[in-house]
Structure 1
Amino acid sequence: MSPHFDLRPLLERVEAAAPVDAVTAVTAELASLSGATEVSFLIADFSGHALVRLGTATRAPDGSRVQGAEHAETLRLEGTVHEQVLRTQQAAVQAGDDAGVHVIVPVTDRGDAIGLLELVLPEPPGEQELADISAAGHALAYVVVANRRHTDLFEWGQRTTPFSLAAEIQRRLLPSAFTCEAGQFTLAGWLEPAATVGGDTFDYALDRDSLQVSITDAVGHEVGAALLATLLVGSLRNERRRGMDLGTQTRNANDAVAAHSAAGGFVTGQVVRVDLHSRRAQIVNAGHPFPLRLREGRVEEVELLIDLPFGIQAGTGYRLQHFPLEPGDRVVFVTDGMQERNAASLDVAATLAATSALHPREVVHELGQAVLRATGGVLRDDASVVCLDWYGGPPRARESDAGASRRLASGGAGSGAPSPGATSAGAASGSR
């Protein structure tokens, strides 16, 4: 590979290709530049437990899903080098079973781990070549983000389990990226199970002045709950995008649910707005389970005043409550699926304390896995979780290397970020 990797030929090749061939265009260009004998893209599936290798080979590997010319080979994640690269966001170089050397790099955008890029090279890469391959992985993240708007290929590949209609509707309500790293915070969300039920949602939006986060739980199950959730999330987004303040957003969203839902329909939820300049936060609590906060090694509920769920009574105004945030805080918002009766053995607070060293992206996966273990894999309700790490300080650029902050990654080399739950002088002063 050239010592100065030029992305222009790669991007031109991507633009010339059809959206379904965008990844193939990247891998072909990368193979030409690097001399790799194999280059493949592995996308993270919606369960969070596997990777999916997408391809168009005439003979698909055994056990692959096939749809027309496309095939998707599912690979287990737990205990593999692939899991290590996703967690640490650092490249891995390994001698393969054949004569080649396997190089695996993250495909990540703003901390959102989309998947991995895997190459087989004739010999170990040098430092510059490995950096170039990592840059190509970062570029591939943008290629996937851009091209998935035009094709179902990536969505199909990620669905290792068929979706119900309710889950299909619900999926449209979730943010397109489940993780976001920024200078003042890192945020990640997750939903279990991904393929069935309906009703739970989470959302977030970041602008120049604020971060807004919501987590909601519509009453009922399946399509009815998904449609009810659509009413609330659509209204909250509409009000937010019109520039309304938090009180107006929630009041109007409540009225929309009350006016358009069937009798007895309601949605519990919390909506938080963090002012990035004053570093103060407000929260509306519409009959929802209290958040948990990890601070200075202790986990405790953040007790809030309880207002009516959305949709119970038209004209309801919601109290804007101060939400206490200090640099080093980790806050977890959950739905009641995390506390359902057949998950009685799950101690969410203990799990949160035990995962304090992990990136929020890994924390929400661990909590999802914990509720599945506690219920024997049989959830009677959705279980959603959003994890917010707050670093504080003024708005600023984030540290990033190939799409992720390695300093914040779980087990990443050079990790020196303030541990969640432990206030640090550096975080308080705004330096990171």
Structure 2
Amino acid sequence: MSVPRPAEWHGMLAELIDVAHFVGPSGLAEIVEVAAARVGLDVTIHLVDHEQERLRVLSPDKATDPIPIRGSVAGRAFMTLTPVPSAGDPPRLWMPIVNGTERIGVLEVRGADPADPAMISGTRLLAGLVGHMITSKTAYGDAIVVARRSRPMTTAAEVLWQLLPPLTFATDHFVLAAVLEPSYEVGGDAFDYTVDDGVARFAVYDGVGKGLPAALTTAVALGASRASRRAGAGLAEMAEEVDRALKGEFTDSRFVTAVLAEFDLHAGHLRYVGAGHPPPVLLRRGKAVRALAGGRRTPLGVPAPTAVAEERLERGDRLLFYTDGITEARDADGTLFGLERLVDLVERHAAVGLPVAETARRISHAVRDHQGGPPADDATLLLLEWSEAAAKRSVP
């Protein structure tokens, strides 16, 4: 079980880059496996499903039962973004697969000492390349998309997921992570963000109604927000453009509650508009400080004067944005999940230093556990942290 030499790692990665130019999503697993086999390694790509509950094998030739994230060695590598060696015959190395800071899955590697530093270093490079390849190839076919699903999506969910950015993004001192439930049936909830020139702009939306009508309403709001933002509009102008788009497109008084925000990553200056939506929560030094209840106006689609509120953040602060599907989830006895429980979970996870994306994932699963299954209403969570430490925890 000798570890590949540096030249062999280089040759394998070069081969993958060359071959990948002409391979679609359905052939990706095979070219990775063939290239790794040339240096004596047996690799398997496991992708996280949309529920973020299990890791599913990409290659149809290696079909096995999905690996649960909770309680497994592979899951530990995914949750903590750390390489995890495991004993067995043969022993394995489990390496998280990310693209940027978006968690994609785990690479399982057999054929060399999984605790050897050279093995860990080389596998990290391979997993990094695989993460980029998965992201770049996904749009060209259905194989990767299907591999990540446990069941079919509704039409409404298909529409919205195609419009959303990745669940996680980070700079060297800022991290943003989102979750959206129920993954296969979501209708009116959505989130959006962009980070350019030291300014992060982000939003959470909750369209009135359910199913496809709600998805189309939110899609119009999201499209109008992006179009006006990309044309140079500020927050107030964006909100008013969404008002016009919804009024012009629909005749049945549709509306979207939302929070629109922008954050200066250098100065710590936050500006935001709350359009009929639950106010975001500011957490400082691991404790909830206050709800950001400024900038209030009617929901988007119900035209009204738009004021922009401002807040100054400190390094290490977290911002929690959510839709009412989170706090209004009920258990069998009718007890609400509630804002207090939500904030308590964020505080406790902040105290143990989990990656921001893992905190968001665990909160969404706590809502599932409370309700005994996927939320009855759409439930979205957007969690941000302004700190270098959070950024460092977001990569392997």
TM-score, L = length of structure 2: 0.91
Question: For 2:268, which of 263, 279, 285 is the aligned residue?
Answer: 279
Work out the CA distance in 2 between the residues paired with 1:365 and 1:341. 16
Q: Is the 8 A contact 2:80 2:355 kept in 1?
A: no
Letter in 2 for 1:389: E
Q: Which region of structure 1 is more displaced relative to structure 2, 87-96 or 285-294?
A: 87-96
Aligned: 1:354 with 2:348: yes
Alignment root-mean-square deviation, CA: 2.1
How much has 1:322 moved relative to structure 2? 0.4
* Unaligned segments of structure 1, at least 5 residues: 62-72, 392-397, 413-432
Q: Secondary structure at 2:163's aligned position in 1?
A: coil
> Could you report, residue by residue, the CA deviation over 1:168-190 in whole angstroms, capped at 9, with x for unpaired residues?
11212221x11112122111000
Work out the CA distance in 2 between the residues paired with 1:28 and 1:317. 61
Q: Find the counterpart in structure 2 of residue 395 from structure 1.
A: none
> Could you report, residue by residue, the CA deviation over 1:279-336 in whole angstroms, capped at 9, with x for unpaired residues?
31210110100111211332132222420100013xx342111033211101110001
> Could you report, residue by residue, the CA deviation over 1:408-428 in whole angstroms, capped at 9, with x for unpaired residues?
259x9xxxxxxxxxxxxxxxx
> Could you report, residue by residue, the CA deviation over 1:318-375 in whole angstroms, capped at 9, with x for unpaired residues?
2111033211101110001112162514411211211113221011112211211222
Q: Find the counterpart in structure 2 of residue 373 from structure 1.
A: 369
Q: Which region of structure 1 is more displaced relative to structure 2, 236-245 or 281-290?
A: 236-245
Question: For 2:386, which of 366, 382, 390 is the aligned residue?
Answer: 390
Q: Find the counterpart in structure 2 of residue 227 from structure 1.
A: 216
Q: Which region of structure 1 is more displaced relative to structure 2, 184-193 or 352-361?
A: 352-361
Q: Secondary structure at 1:172's aligned position in 2?
A: helix
How much has 1:247 moved relative to structure 2? 2.2
**Structural mapping, 1:406-425, within 5 Å:** 407-408=392-393
Letter in 2 for 1:364: A
Q: Which region of structure 1 is more displaced relative to structure 2, 263-272 or 113-122?
A: 113-122
Q: Is the 8 A contact 1:199 1:219 kept in 2?
A: yes
Letter in 2 for 1:91: P
Work out the CA distance in 2 between the residues paired with 1:20 and 1:105. 22
Question: For 1:322, which of 294, 303, 310 is the aligned residue?
Answer: 310
Q: Find the counterpart in structure 2 of residue 79 from structure 1.
A: 71
How much has 1:124 moved relative to structure 2? 4.3
Q: Find the counterpart in structure 1 of residue 104 from structure 2.
A: 114
Q: Find the counterpart in structure 1 of residue 47 from structure 2.
A: 43
Question: For 1:88, which of 76, 80, 88 is the aligned residue?
Answer: 80
TM-score, L = length of structure 1: 0.83
How much has 1:222 moved relative to structure 2? 0.4
Q: Secondary structure at 1:344's aligned position in 2?
A: coil
Q: Find the counterpart in structure 2 of residue 255 from structure 1.
A: 244
Q: Secondary structure at 1:16's aligned position in 2?
A: coil
Q: Is the 8 A contact 2:97 2:128 kept in 1?
A: yes
Q: Secondary structure at 1:355's aligned position in 2?
A: helix
Work out the CA distance in 2 between the residues paired with 1:48 and 1:184. 25
> Could you report, residue by residue, the CA deviation over 1:141-162 in whole angstroms, capped at 9, with x for unpaired residues?
0000110121111111111122
Q: Secondary structure at 2:133's aligned position in 1?
A: helix
What count of residue pairs does the alignment treat as equivalent?
A: 381
Q: Secondary structure at 1:143's aligned position in 2?
A: helix
Aligned: 1:178 with 2:167: yes
Letter in 2 for 1:284: V
Letter in 2 for 1:52: R
Q: Is the 8 A contact 2:69 2:76 kept in 1?
A: no
Q: Find the counterpart in structure 2 of residue 209 from structure 1.
A: 198
* Unaligned segments of structure 2, at least 5 residues: none
Letter in 1 for 2:264: D
Q: Is the 8 A contact 1:187 1:389 kept in 2?
A: yes
Aligned: 1:200 with 2:200: no
Work out the CA distance in 2 between the residues paired with 1:89 and 1:295. 24
Q: Find the counterpart in structure 2 of residue 296 from structure 1.
A: 285
Aligned: 1:29 with 2:35: yes
More helix by percentage: 2
How much has 1:60 moved relative to structure 2? 4.6
Q: Find the counterpart in structure 1 of residue 360 from structure 2.
A: 364
Aligned: 1:3 with 2:3: no
Letter in 2 for 1:13: V
Q: Find the counterpart in structure 2 of residue 421 from structure 1.
A: none
Letter in 2 for 1:77: I
Q: Find the counterpart in structure 1 of residue 326 from structure 2.
A: 338
How much has 1:211 moved relative to structure 2? 0.6
- The change in CA–CA distance for 1:231 and 1:79 in structure 2 (over 3 A counts) is same
Q: Secondary structure at 2:296's aligned position in 1?
A: coil
Q: Find the counterpart in structure 2 of residue 56 from structure 1.
A: 60
How much has 1:12 moved relative to structure 2? 0.5
Work out the CA distance in 2 between the residues paired with 1:345 and 1:215. 20
Question: For 1:130, which of 100, 120, 127 is the aligned residue?
Answer: 120
Letter in 1 for 2:322: V
How much has 1:262 moved relative to structure 2? 3.5
Q: Is the 8 A contact 2:182 2:374 kept in 1?
A: no
Q: Secondary structure at 2:136's aligned position in 1?
A: helix
- The change in CA–CA distance for 1:182 and 1:104 in structure 2 (over 3 A counts) is same
Letter in 2 for 1:323: E
Among the aligned pairs, what percent are the same residue? 26
Q: Is the 8 A contact 1:103 1:121 kept in 2?
A: no
Work out the CA distance in 2 between the residues paired with 1:207 and 1:409. 19
Q: Which region of structure 1 is more displaced relative to structure 2, 282-291 or 353-362?
A: 353-362
Aligned: 1:266 with 2:255: yes
How much has 1:276 moved relative to structure 2? 3.0
Work out the CA distance in 1 between the residues paired with 2:68 and 2:377. 26
Letter in 1 for 2:314: E
